Amino acid sequence: MEKTLVIDALFNYERAALLQNNELKEVIIEEKEDFRIGDIFIGKVKKIVPKKFAFIDLGFEKNAFLGITDKKQKDLFVFNEKTNKYNLNLKEGQDILVQIDKKGTDLKGASVTTNLTLTGKYIVLLLKEENIAISKKIDDKEKRDFLKKFASENLPKGYGIIFRTNCIDANIEDIQKEILSLIKKAKDLMEKGNYIKPPTRLFLAKTEIEKIITDILKDDDKIVTNTDESFEALKEIFKNVELYNDSLPIFKAYSIESKIEKCFHNKIWLKSGGFLMIDTVEAMTIIDVNTGKDITRKSFEEIALKTNKEAIEQIAKEIRLRNISGIILIDLIDMKEDEHKKQLETFMKSLSKEDRMPITVYPINELYIMQITRKKTLSPLYDVISKPCPMCNGIGKIKNETYIANTITNEILSIFSNTIYNRLVISANSHIINKLKCININSFQDKKIEFNVIYPARFDYFNIEKFKD
């Protein structure tokens, strides 16, 4: 099935939407940041908190955070034969090679590890761990045995490997070629780390958008983008790239904008008349399944199974679209038949294979709750474009000024391109107006934009008045 990756690179955010048969499958919103998950640095140890963590200077405002309780980080420890214990082999002031594995927060810097990896399309190369692992999504025993044998015969000493899901349909020659390429890159990186003065970045990881291109797109798929700069850069890594030149904003032209807005609703109706309620708290996401308007004359067991199955199909889509991760609890409608529970578990496992992120599905318990876990690499979609509400001390969230300003700008471009109006008055609070003034809006002949600051105004409120002079 042909896939299209639509990229909006006009403003502060670079947004990408993956479409398959015109259905929105995945959304990535990325800000231009100082570092990415997967970047490798030569840093300097600034401070050690005994038996807990160390602060590493990577050259940014906040020092990175290195946990020193994980014995798997072999570079951090030396085995003492006399005491039969591992002792920390780390001193303040020393140089250290680390890789970013988690983004920072407002309170602390990024999290880093000394277990370095390089990720390709087919494999993840482990630079300091002799281990062979295979994606759980490769469930064919013969294929798994072949990959294990191939790795043991072809992988140099001192390296480990993880075979990714893309290996299922890959030629072994392509996998071998990638292994050799990543090993060369690893050797160059380690050598460079020996003589470059810290703090310095040694390796720049791919953006999430680049990962989608590498991991998901095939030769018959295409990319559409709306800036010359993005077009030229993408041509270097993918052959089928189109430049979008229409005056209508690209996400509106592909009907993506309205679909993204639905990702922020916590109530989702199902075709059967049932509905989902999605609520995220600090430690987990809870999804409640309800029969709603389903008043067919079938037995309640049939209604429960039908609604639960439809709900699980929609939940799998919402998890990927909203980038929900961590612990996810699904409160299903009660069913009497154990066989029906097993059907739902099998169905969710089959749907999870389409997701780029690893998902583990646990058995439905006696309270009819299905628990799943999804690996976290990025923040949920809503967190990327929102901030804590200043009126309720962070209990709720509202969209941030940058995203609202970009939304308004797209509306302006759409109105001027497709209507008779030639003068607009934008009303919003001062924070949003200031953001709008910083955005370089394409000039339109005989068009005029006026700004009206509202005191006081709701932080996420705006209004656009249209005039024909």
CATH of domain 40-203: 2.40.50.140
CA distance 214 to 122: 10
**222-225 vs 241-243, strand pairing mode:** parallel
Burial 341-374 (b: 16+ CB within 10 A, else e): bebbbebbeebbeebbeebebeebeeebebebeb
CA distance 467 to 454: 19
CA distance 464 to 424: 7
134: pLDDT strictly greater than 90 = yes
pLDDT in tens, 281-291: 777 899 999 98
CA distance 18 to 15: 10
C-alpha dihedral, 325 to 327 to 331 to 337, nearest 10°: 110
133: pLDDT strictly greater than 80 = yes
pLDDT band of residue 333 (cuts 50, 70, 90) is very high
The predicted pLDDT at position 105 comes to 67
pLDDT in tens, 239-260: 899 999 988 889 999 999 888 8
Average pLDDT, the chain: 87
Q: What is the mean pLDDT of residues 201-209?
A: 90
3-state secondary structure of 97: strand
The predicted pLDDT at position 106 comes to 62
CATH of domain 386-467: 3.40.1260.20
Q: Residue 17: which of 246, 219, 320, 268 has the closest Cα? A: 320
Q: What is the mean pLDDT of residues 301-312?
A: 91
Q: Indicate if 386-467 has the same CATH topology as 3-34+217-258.
A: no
Q: What is the pTM of this model?
A: 0.79
pLDDT in tens, 54-111: 899 998 888 998 888 777 777 787 777 777 777 777 888 999 999 998 877 666 788 8
Domain segments of the chain as ranges? 3-34+217-258, 40-203, 265-374, 386-467
The predicted pLDDT at position 143 comes to 92
Candidates 2.120.10, 3.30.160, 3.80.10, 3.30.420; correct CATH number of 3-34+217-258?
A: 3.30.420
361: pLDDT strictly greater than 90 = yes
183: pLDDT strictly greater than 90 = yes
Q: 21's torsion region: left (phi>0), alpha (psi -120 to 50) or beta?
A: left
CA distance 365 to 306: 19
The predicted pLDDT at position 442 comes to 54
pLDDT band of residue 188 (cuts 50, 70, 90) is very high
Only one residue has tokens 């309205």, namely 258
Higher pLDDT, 171 or 444: 171
Q: 281 CB contacts (<8 Å, ≥6 apart)?
A: none
pLDDT in tens, 21-33: 889 999 998 877 7
pLDDT band of residue 296 (cuts 50, 70, 90) is low
